[in-house]
Amino acid sequence: MKAAESFEISMASRVEIDEDSDTNKGSMWVLDQKLDQPMDEEAGRLRNMYREKFSALLLMRLAFQSLGVVFGDLGTSPLYVFYNTFPHGISDPEDVVGALSLIIYSLTLIPLLKYVFVVCRANDSGQGGTFALYSLLCRHANVKTIPNQHRTDEELTTYSRSTFHEQSYAAKTKKWLEGHASRKNALLLLVLVGTCMVIGDGILTPAISVLSAAGGIKVSSPGMKNDYVILVAVVILVGLFSVQHYGTDKVGWLFAPIVLLWFLLIGGIGIFNIWKHDSSVLRAFSPVYIYRYFKRNGRDGWTSLGGIMLSITGTEALFADLAHFPVSAVQIAFTTVVFPCLLLAYSGQAAYLMKNHDNKTVLQAFYLSIPEKIYWPVFIVATLAAVVASQATISATFSIIKQALALGCFPRVKVVHTSKKFLGQIYIPDINWILMILCIAVTAGFKNQSQIGNAYGTAVVVVMLATTLLMTLIMILVWRCHWILVLIFTGLSLVVECTYFSAVLFKVDQGGWVPLVIAAAFLLIMYVWHYGTLKRYEFEMHSKVSMAWLLGLGPSLGLVRVPGIGLVYTELASGVPHIFSHFITNLPAIHSVVVFVCVKYLPVYTVPEEERFLVKRIGPKSFHMFRCVARYGYKDLHKKDDDFEKKLFDNLFMFVRLESMMEGCSDSDEYSIYGQQTERSMEGLINNNGNTIGSTADLTISSVDSIVPAKSPLHANNTMSSSSQLSMQNEIDELEFLNNCRDAGVVHILGNTVVRARRDSRFYKKIAVDYIYAFLRKVCREHSVIFNVPHESLLNVGQIFYV
């Protein structure tokens, strides 16, 4: 057998092929369309259209639990905001009031109004983050760059989307987005930039949170304090990342009480400081002090916004970690606990700084404002709260990388379930250690917290800008809001966030370059991987084999049919993959039963188990060929056991039984491979009295298409006709044949398509394809490992494809 086969396909030749296919659709093309019709699901799909309602008591409990998952990052910001706002000290006490006023209105406009009451409503069945927004957009417009979706996917119970009038503003926006591939790529690039910044957030949040919490250590030698703080922070970080493989299932119940206690403590300390030091800071609720602050400080006041913005860090994590908490529970938790406690904490620190505004005091503003009697309890709770905040960000990073992996935007890495109860709790070993190394490097490498704060602010504001742009499309396409509301939301958000963005640009050389470098590295990896994945899919689409050619070979396919079942893995949901023709050309033998297996991910968070597999027969029964499409959402995982293969065969056997019943219910015993597609459901086969309803159309074996339900309501007919008896006997014979072939052995045939740049390609394309993508393919997990294919049952078919 040849090890590889080269194919050189230029873009120009592809265009010519497409044009020819559009203008010269001859009889062979029509025949091929009839033989390999789309896989339409059975009619009457039950949908989950009810809205879940929560009792008041349950809502309060969920609001309490959301504190530990959603608000940990936002809650630890008081540890470091004032120091990063005034890194060189406070020259005028009135500046403290101006800074406090900025903090108050930043918290009101961004976390409260924008995220809690608007963005959180854009969750994808409870899932948040940039990829969740992208998935919503992919369901409402054809903007997915890898076109592997089919109309049958839209009938899933989790595939919810709205429709709109053709002349509406939403329809025009949809048409504009779908009009050119560059717009789809630009949208994907925006999502990837936001994702990469979230990954950067996963590195910087543990660094600044743990370092700030450790800053409360009291040592006898002030000159050595910084070294002790860094050492303690590094030890905590190593311990935190080392226990990630255990998951948070066993200790997660502690998170909410810790965070609640933290909020109550900082709120109570804030009230104490306002009463003890200076209650006049409450005048900061007037926005006039913002104007006076900028007028008094000029450019220095503008650049200090980079520190002010740290008061809203964790807002994007709030959305990314939304999990399955109802939006109402998050809103209750934020408005009743988080928001007021944060306002009190910042006001209390401001009151303390009004009386104590030397450089040393500003550096330790939070810890120095704590009453001496409760200092150490608060220090312990602060450290625990920092760990919880870090854990939430790390978990969000794992989750968003899993989403990127499912949508073909990240190399295949090992993903481990850490909880049997919660699907979203995962652990990615490779990413965990990369995060730990980078996090320790940031913690030990920077001279002070201010530089980490500058880096942190840059990452956060870029993610917010990406979310604003995606939310604009969500409001138009998904919510179908009036254009005035869209304009108000987008305009206000961009004014505030662009103001912060302009401020952090001044601090790029003071630490702000770190997230840009990290994001650029991850963006390069993700975009190159997606480009290679897209080209491999296009190659399979253009080189697939005609069904007419396959059926022209006859039942034996012109080959020796050996006992056993061959599972041919492909990315195509229709047509015969080129690896199959390449295989039988070089080795003229194939198994008695051939199943083309397509595993694809859809822009939904999960696909229910009972709707996961679509099974259909290819050609007449004598060919013993089937197609199976396994569909997954971006939260679903392949379990590392024999589950996948077992479920595949269970659904295959169920399909044979269902097909036999449908044949028994047909008036005609004549079957043709040229028949029409069957769209009847099982309920349509049997009337209320259990009698068979006659069919006016011949049933097509080649187009019988059904998703195998977990529990099919199959009822025996009261009267068995001779045709149904024959059908039952055929069913028994075929099931026995399939079982015997399965016992003889199952071989997994996987294609190993190698992508190479053409010789006349530009140098940057050669670097991207021949070196970066090739390296990523080499170090990522193989498909055989993901599907847990035994080495002795694996057969790789190599091909080389030039782009």
Instruction: Give the separation between CA 565 and CA 84, rounded to whole angstroms.
Output: 65
Residue pair 596/564 in contact by the 8 Å Cβ criterion:
no
What residue type is 305 in one-letter code? L
Residue pair 504/454 in contact by the 8 Å Cβ criterion:
yes
Instruction: Give the separation between CA 366 and CA 110, rounded to whole angstroms.
Output: 23
Question: Which tokens in the block code for residue 478?
Answer: 């998904």
Q: Are strands 560-570 and 416-417 parallel, antiparallel or unpaired?
A: unpaired
What residue type is 602 in one-letter code? L
pLDDT band for 9, please (50, 70, 90 cuts): very low
739-763 mean pLDDT: 86
pLDDT tens-place string over residues 214-249:
877 776 565 566 778 888 889 999 999 998 888 776
Higher-confidence residue: 495 or 537?
495
770 in helix, strand or coil?
helix
pLDDT tens-place string over residues 783-796:
666 666 767 777 77
Helix axes 483-505, 449-477, angle to 10 degrees: 160
Q: Is the pLDDT of residue 523 over 70?
A: yes
Residue pair 755/799 in contact by the 8 Å Cβ criterion:
no
Q: Is the pLDDT of residue 763 over 70?
A: yes
Higher-confidence residue: 161 or 737?
737
One DSSP character per residue, 380-421 reads: HHHHHHHHHHHHHHHHHHHHHHHHHHHTT-S-----EE--SS
391-410 mean pLDDT: 86
Helix axes 513-543, 578-586, angle to 10 degrees: 60
Outline where DSSP puts E strands in 514-588. Answer: 560-570
Instruction: Give the separation between CA 292 and CA 574, rounded to whole angstroms.
Output: 66
With left for phi above 0 and alpha for psi between -120 and 50, is residue 565 left, alpha or beta? beta
Instruction: Note the pLDDT of residue 53.
Output: 53
Residue pair 662/684 in contact by the 8 Å Cβ criterion:
no
Q: Is the pLDDT of residue 43 over 80?
A: no
Spatial strand order of the sheet with 746-756 comes to: 6-8, 794-802, 746-756, 560-570, 589-601, 625-632, 613-618, 705-707
Percent pLDDT > 90 in the chain is: 26
403-413 mean pLDDT: 87
Outline where DSSP puts E strands in 276-430. Answer: 416-417, 426-427
Residue pair 175/505 in contact by the 8 Å Cβ criterion:
no
Instruction: Note the pLDDT of residue 436.
Output: 93
Other C-beta atoms lying within 10 Å of the C-beta of residue 167: 7
Other C-beta atoms lying within 10 Å of the C-beta of residue 537: 18
Q: Is the pLDDT of residue 555 over 50?
A: yes
HSE-CB of 800 using CA atoms within 13 angstroms = 12
φ/ψ of residue 44, rounded to 5: 80, 30
φ/ψ of residue 231, rounded to 5: -60, -45
Q: Which residues of 471-500 are buried (b: 16+ CB within 10 A; e: fewer)?
A: bbbbbbbbbbbeeeebeebbeebbebbeeb
H helices of 417-448, in order, are: 429-445
Instruction: Give the separation between CA 126 and CA 249, rounded to whole angstroms.
Output: 19
Q: What angle do CA 494, 496, 500 make, to 5 degrees?
A: 105
pTM higher than the cut 0.85: no
151-156 mean pLDDT: 75
HSE-CB of 791 using CA atoms within 13 angstroms = 0
Q: Is the pLDDT of residue 596 over 70?
A: yes
Instruction: Give the separation between CA 132 and CA 119, rounded to whole angstroms.
Output: 11
Q: Taking the mean position of all CA atoms in its chain, how far away is CA 494?
A: 25
